[in-house]
Amino acid sequence: MLVVERASPSLRGHITRWMLEVRAGVFVGTLSPRVRELLWQAVCARNAGGGCVLVHAAQNEQGFAILTHGDTSRTVIDIEGLTLVRKA
């Protein structure tokens, strides 16, 4: 799942090449690790004025990992190996 805040229509269109936009700025899809990494780099580079959150499957106790970039309304924190989200 990928969430972009304050993203341009062109960036949102770019993301829809690989993922389905289920709501404005909220994208879901199953990506290979390589495609996910390249898409994440492109989204971070093209959304300078906004924020991005990526949640993907991972080999850890929770079964997922969270990446953030830019100005988001939430902060991801790690407490003893558990990923938690704090509202700013």
Q: Where are the domains of the chain?
A: 2-87
pLDDT in tens, the chain (88 residues): 999 999 999 999 999 999 999 999 999 999 999 999 999 999 999 998 899 999 999 998 899 999 999 888 788 999 988 899 988 7
Count of CB atoms situated within 10 Å of the CB of 37 = 14
Tell me the sheet residues that pair with 86: 75
CATH entry, 2-87, from 3.30.56.10, 3.30.70.240, 3.90.420.10, 3.40.50.720: 3.30.70.240
Q: Which phi and psi (to 5°) does residue 40 adopt?
A: -60, -45
What's this model's pTM, rounded to 2 decimal places?
0.88
